[in-house]
Chain A
Amino acid sequence: MEEFDHEVDAPRGATSREWEVFVREDTADPLTHVGSVSAPSTDIAREQASSLFARTAVTLWLCPADETQRYQTDDATLGTGNTGDDATMSVDEMESETLRGENR
């Protein structure tokens, strides 16, 4: 049996809190993961998920992405690179590097 010894724990929610969305299209169907929505609260997450899935779904589950523990066998992901390696400019660097047409 495979061990789920690789945890995928990088933060999600590019613009606000992220909610994993699960729907069932018929009471006889299994619950299916259908992606996630960004929303600051449960109510707004429900509204957003409804506007996308209420047409076809009979059941909606919302699960905060930051409360979700994710494990998988390690060969399934992008690799084990550290997230957020320090490749990005600091605020000061951005400020000093920004062109404002000085030498034109």
Chain B
Amino acid sequence: MISVSKLLCDLDAEGDGLRYDAADESTKRQIRDEKQRRPVVVWNVTKQCNLYCDHCYAAADTEIADGELSTAEGKALLDDLADYGAPVVLFSGGEPLVRQDLEELVAYANEVGVRPVLSTNGTLITEERAQSLKDAGLKYAGVSVDGLPERNDDFRGVDGAFEGAVQGIENCLDAGLKTGLRYTITERNAADLEGVVDLLTDVGVDRFCFYHLDYGGRGTEIVDADLTPEDRRQAVKRVCDMTREYHDRGEEIETLLVGNYADAAYLVEYAREHMSEAQAQRVYEYLRVNGGDPTGERVADVDYQGNVHLTQFWQGYSLGNVRDRSFGAIWEDESNPLLSALRNREEHLTGKCADCRYAEVCRGASRLRALTVEDDLFAPDPQCYLEETEIHGSPPFDTGENSVASGSSAD
């Protein structure tokens, strides 16, 4: 998760506390060097969903699926995550609100000291549920909208889904719940990006997370609908431009990019071209400490049956199951050659990533996309949109010790 607004507009908003980073932001050179950092854990509490989105990584269904963790097991899992020191649990799905014990689980997470946040399609957030989630101690709701009404509803397979999501967002805001947008950018909806931001800022939303498509779950079927590298570069540039325009007008929206750490490299290039060399250096420093793609390190996923995955999008492979042993034991077990290779991926990356000058801030971006498209875990991310001339050469800056720290991860 890369904060465009922070990097390009020096935003120091309340949102920093939402970066799901338990570590003190002022602590220099935390994280990467220490390898101590605990992951943000996405928990797909159910596979069930009231919508049927084209790109659903969890391949959600309308019917209840077998083997969902019970309320009691869920609380035991939260105890387990608290013991391990996971800073944040992101309740996700399916659609997490179809679980009527969600509030109970959110309250429990709060009680044991794991910050509860939510990823939802928004269409089940009635006034009552917005209030009960707020009362339970929910800290943030990220609501998915993937285009202006027509496109969004088409994507989500339900008429009125856009209006329903906006209604859900309004109910959250009325209940005093910090709420943001999740927008997965694809070829189909890239054109709606600014329109959706304009529309939702009018509703009162001030935090926008733009996701690149990862190729897991139902998403693999729409690899073809993903942006070309050129279009991706344009879309990311528009996010940068738009963020600066809003800030220039005094509207301090927070914008974030998620799911493709080639963005980190691009942001440095963008700052250099459109701002200044000094800004570019500052952006680079910040991102260097951030540490690049977090898969298998700073993010983790537990599915509704308790299987532990490397990210929420990588559902086809599980490291183990929390019904067999604790999350911490699974996550720490580097006798698993895949886990240890991913954590030392710098040694294994091939092709242009192997000698990319931005490798330190990117780390080869998504290994899942490389695996899905190239059938090679350490091939370059097919979504990398940097130009050859940007990739080659010595590291863009001499890196000093006085770095600023950044946060990680999913929401």
Interface residues of A (CB under 8 A from B): 8, 10-15, 18, 23, 25, 32-39, 48, 51-53, 55-57, 70, 72, 76-79, 81-85, 87-91, 94-95, 97-104
Contact = CB atoms under 8 A, between A and B. Distances in A.
A15 B371 CA distance: 18
B121 to A, nearest CB: 9
Instruction: List the 3 closest A-B pairs by CB distance, nearest first.
Output: A101-B163, A100-B160, A81-B72
B188 interface: no
A44 to B, nearest CB: 10
Interface in B43-81: 44, 46-48, 50-51, 58-59, 62-73, 76-77, 80
B305 interface: yes
A48 B375 CA distance: 9
B67 A11 contact: yes
Contacts of A90: 64
Q: Which residue of A36, A95, A102 has the most chain B CB atoms within 10 A of its CB atom?
A: A36
Given A38-B318, A76-B324, A79-B73, 17 more contacts: A14-B44, A14-B315, A35-B317, A36-B317, A51-B371, A55-B377, A78-B323, A82-B72, A83-B73, A89-B50, A89-B99, A94-B98, A98-B123, A100-B158, A100-B164, A101-B167, A104-B167
B100 interface: yes
B337 to A, nearest CB: 5
A88 B163 CA distance: 24
B358 interface: no
A10 B123 contact: no
Contacts of B303: 14
A12 B317 CA distance: 12
Contacts of A97: 50, 124, 126
16 contacts: A12-B67, A12-B305, A15-B217, A18-B307, A34-B336, A36-B318, A38-B316, A53-B338, A57-B337, A78-B76, A83-B73, A85-B72, A87-B68, A88-B100, A98-B124, A99-B122
A78 B316 contact: no
B166 A104 contact: yes
Interface string B257-284: 0000000000000000000000000000
A100 B337 contact: no
Contact of A53 (B50, B162, B337): B337
Interface string B309-346: 00000011111111111000000000111100100000
A104 B163 CA distance: 8
A100 B163 contact: yes
B315 A38 contact: yes
A10 B98 CA distance: 21
Contacts of A10: 66-67, 305-306, 323
A52 B341 CA distance: 10
A11 B66 contact: yes
A51 B122 CA distance: 37
A85 B104 CA distance: 14
Q: Which residue of B59, B125, B162, B337 has the most chain A CB atoms within 10 A of its CB atom?
A: B337
Interface in B366-382: 371, 375-377
